[in-house]
Every structure is written in structure tokens, then in C-alpha cells.
Structure 1
Amino acid sequence: MAKIMYFLTVFFIILHVPGIFTEQENPDACPIRKFNPLGQTCQKACTRNQECGLKRRCLCDGDCGLSCVTTTRSCPWPVNIANAKTGLVKGTRNFGDQMSVLCHPGFKMASGQETALSRCQGDRKWSVITPCDAVLDPVKSCDVPHTIENGFLMENGSTFSVGTSVHYQCNLGYALEGHKVTQCMENTTWSQPAPTCRQIFCPPPPEVKHAYLLAIQKSEYAVFEEINYLCDRNLDMDGSHNVTCEANGNWSAIPICRTRCKIPAQRSRVVYKGSKRWVHEIPGTVHHLEAVTFFCLNQTCSYPATSQCFDGILSLPSCYEEPTWIQYNFFPKNIVSEITPCTEL
């Protein structure tokens, strides 16, 4: 009878005194303690109740793993979380109890959830809850605008939100037909269709008086195509002989063939091309825009007066007086062009 009573007593102790012979119901289900758990201060680590003292038990405390915790300690209440409503799941806030967090309408957690549970930890703090942030409407955008042949978009990018405008431009030598600007509208379509780029041509070049054209005769010429003009004999070209079809569909400056000039003086010396000589010593005529210097009288000395040839006209300076035949033939040293210059007096 005594033996039976002994075994019953031992069995009763095993069942009713926690942690004397048994550990946690399922210690393998508790995570291994992390070195620095987020938002939690870990209590003393343990493997069984005997390591914790009389008032604490060896229980699983989340990321802290098996820890010595006081089960009668409670977490603070109420808890205010921005943009959310909180509540106690079982009406109590002791270790292991849970608090529900429900985001207000229009708010969600970073994970996309609207609800979550927070646990009362051994350090008397609620486990970390992701804040509830405002749900932003997704940015509406249009598809990438159509590309155009022989042209390009001036804006780069892969996303074009509502309200964004883009600009088209044609390559050099092409003209834009259609709308240069289009905008992404609220319905995520573009306000205008993509334009086209038409190749630019120049018309046949104009005829130049007293000149002939060195080019293949065509009805139209492409941009940057070149032609050449040549003036008739004894005429000077005013401008470039080379003419180019420009990007605006017009030809560059067209040259003009200018007439050369005869020197209107006969019995005097002049300065031409840096040399002082008698008029009859100058062969041919004076080229367009070339200058000839004559000499005028200032009482007893001479001073220069220059005139320029322009398209066949070389005017005598108003101060110039043509020597008479007698002066020229019998008194050549007294001709104005031969007397002492005023600058030497």
C-alpha cells in the first residue's frame, strides 16, 4: 500500500509542478535567438523552467527564442497607431496576448495588407507593426509615342505620364507635316497622331544673265546638292560660283555676272593694283570692285582720290580735272599726277 501511495505522489508532482522534469511542450517550434531582434529587448535565455527562478517561466518569446519571462506582466494599453484602429484579440494584454491592427480606409501596410497582429513580448512591448501608409493611385501613363521615319522625338524616356508633352522633329532635309507637339491625355492616349517627314527638294535653279549653268538639268534637286555657274568671257562673278540646295528648299545666294570698267581718264597717271602708271599702260579693263586712285590739285600740290569699279561704272572723282592735250604733250611734268604730293610738303 505504501509503494502505491509513493508512485501516485510522484505522478501528481510530474503533472502539476511545471518545469521540474519537463521542458516546453514543443521547444523545436521556437526560433533560435537572433543576435539583435528588431524592436525587442531579449530576456535571459533558457532551456527549461529551473533556469528562470520562481516567478518566471522558460517560454518562447518570438525572435528572442526561449527566454525567462514573467507571464503576469502586461503590455501598455491603449496603443495609438497612425492611420489605424487597434484592439485586443482576447481582451487581455499579458505576455503572448495579441493586438489587432486595422488600417483605416485608403491606407495599407508596405506588404499590401490592411490588417496585422502584434504580440505582447517578454520586455512588455508590442511587437513591431508596419505603419499604415496612404494608398496612392497608380500613375496613369501613355504608351511610348510612335517613332517617325526620317525624324525623331526630342524627349527620351520609357514612361510618359498624363499631361506630358513630346515634340517631334524631322532630320535635316525633311519637312514636318502634321502636329509637332502631342500630349498624353487623361484617357492615356495621345492628343495628336504622329506626324510625317517629307523630303525637301529645291526647284530648278534660276537663270543668271550672262552666265551658263554647269549642272544636270532636273525638275528638282535634293538638299545639299550643288550646282555651278560660270560667267561669259570678260565678265566678273559677284558671289560664289558654287550654289547649294539648302534645307529650307531654297538655293543659297545666286551670283551675278558683273561688267568690267574702262578707266575714264586718258592723259594722267593713276594708281592701279598698287602701282602708279599711265592709263595707256594698263591692259584691258578694271575688274568689278577693283579700285583706281586718281590725283586732284590742291593749289600747288596733289592729293589722291579713289574710285571703285561697280558693274561697268568707274566714276571720276569730282575733284579730278583731265589734263589738256597741250599739258599732256608739252608740259607732262606739270600734270597734277606728276607734281609734288601734298603729304611731302
Structure 2
Amino acid sequence: MRKIFFLNQIAYTILLFIIVLSGVTYCQDLINQNLSDSDSFFYRDEMRHFIQVISRYSHLFHPYFIIVPQNGLSLLTSNGEPEGVLISKYLSAIDGVGQEELYFGFLGDDEHTPEIITSNWLGFLNKIRVLGKAVLVTDYCSEPFNIKNSLESNNLQQFISFPAESRELNIIPDNSSVPYRANSENIEKIIHAKNFLYFINPSSFSNTEEMIEALSRTNYDLFIIDAFFSKDEMFTHEDIDHLKEKMNGGKRLVLSYLSIGEAENYRYYWQKEWDINPPPWLEEENPDWSGNYKIRYWDKNWQQIIFGNPDAYLDKILKAGFDGVYLDLIDSFEYFEELQ
């Protein structure tokens, strides 16, 4: 039986109180290590730092909390290239990486990713896989032949994969009771998972009960879901505990999706006045995703929305009993580098 080290509500409150009393809080010490925003500002260093801080903060409350950043593979090495030196502090802060479009989807759904792109990414992914880190691949394909190709190609690399039939990540595949490499094992660590489901858009369900029931009828080893069913309705600790049971009786891991590189105007933290008078750290809207905004992720005001107080996003995720977080938009450093 997996031991859960998650603090209960009372212990959580006491720990936060102790941290706050200790002069400047631990999380504030970390947040305030900001560099000036200048032409020489190395944006990828600050994203690495942000993820490392998230990891350290999470482990105050849950020593085995799982941290998986998606995309942004160039953060792994000192020069941003596959042959570069791996950055040990960053690697120590994460339990694996997620990568979209490794074999399908870079040019469009059900289209093969160009070999030169796949080869470059494999240069990073294989290096960290041999170090015992999990690699989660999401390919975008719905044709049966392409799904089979994606699953088998990733399995050959010892990667954990999910062929997503929609970019909206709103589909539970029909074969969910018998996913690729289905098993009844208890999954204690992410590296032990043999398959996963990436499902963060619950719009096809009318309420949380329907969604929880549908997910519970599957045998995936790992879920990546949104922590919220709707803007103001978050899944409860009881919901998450229920989702940790595979239909065949085994235990699975449940990670929460968390965007740290863009702000989303459909989240609980969004303030209406930002539509007219945005804070200094809020940048332009992402042209590809309505309601998503580039942000100066190194700004302490944004980081305080993400962690460090009971109303912060990560703190809510921790209290809800998730096993970890799946960090998205970490590659937003590329946006700022391109502006230079």
C-alpha cells in the first residue's frame, strides 16, 4: 500500500504559519531571487529556477510529489542542445519530462513529425531516460495505423505514450479498459507507469460525478487531468482518492495539469479588471489559444499566484491530494528570447 505523506489540513495550516513567522517566508526567499528584465536576461535560466522552486516548495508538504515539465527540452542542458552538459540541479528537481508531437502532430494531426525534429528531441529524451527519469509522450493522431505506430515507436524507446485523438484533450479512448500495456500492478513511481491518459477538458460531462465515474472505469496507470471541473469547482480529495483506483483493482497515479508559462482568463485567479488594466507581468494574448496570455513568469506577483499561500494554485493542488503536477508552457522562454 502506497504511503501518502500529504499533510492534513491542520498540519498544512500550522506549517504555513511557521514558515510565515520565520522572517521572510521560505517561498518568498525563493521568489525574490529575481533578475532585472534586460537585454542580457537569460529567460531559460529563470524558467529552470521557477521549476526548481516549485519542486522544493512542493516537497515541503509532500516529499514524493511528482514534478513533470512538458516540452522545453533545451532547459535540460547548459547550451540548449542534446549534446550539451545536463544541468544536475534541474534534473534533481524533476521526475521526468513530457513531450508533445514526438512522432505525430508537429505539422498537423496524423502527420508524421519531420525526422530531423524527432531525432533532435530523442537526443534529449534518451539521455534522461537512461538516468531513470520518465518520458511521457503525447502524439496527436486518430487514425488506427498511426495510433499503433505511435504506441510501438514510443515503447521501443521505453517511453510512456498517449496518442491523443484531439488537441482539446477531451476524449477518453474507447479502449480505455484495456489500454496499451494494460496491467493490474500498483504504480508507486511514475517511471513504473506503462501507459497514461491526458484528459484536461471535461466539457463533454455535465458534472464531476459523471467524469469521475467515466475515468474510474479505465485501467490507465497514470492520469493527467485538470484540478478543476469548471472555473470555480475543484475536484475534492475524495474525488482524487477515487481516481487513484484502477478498474482492475490496481493503484494509479494522478497528476494535475498546471500552466506556469501562460495565464488563463478562465481560471479562478483571473481578475476582471485585468481585461482593461492588465498587471505589468501580463503580456499579449496567445494567438493560437484564446484566453491564454503570455506572462513574465519570473515576476514574483505571478509566482505568488502559482504557489506560496493557501489560495495559490499549487497549494490547492497539494491539498486536493494529487500525486504531482504536469507543468505546461515552460517553453514560453522562447517567446521572450525571440523578442530580443
TM over 0.5: no
Higher strand share: 1
The structure that has the greater radius of gyration is 1
Q: Which has the higher contact order (CA 8 A, sep 6+)?
A: 2
| Higher normalized helix content (fraction of residues) | 2
Normalised to the residue count of structure 1, the TM-score between the two structures is: 0.15
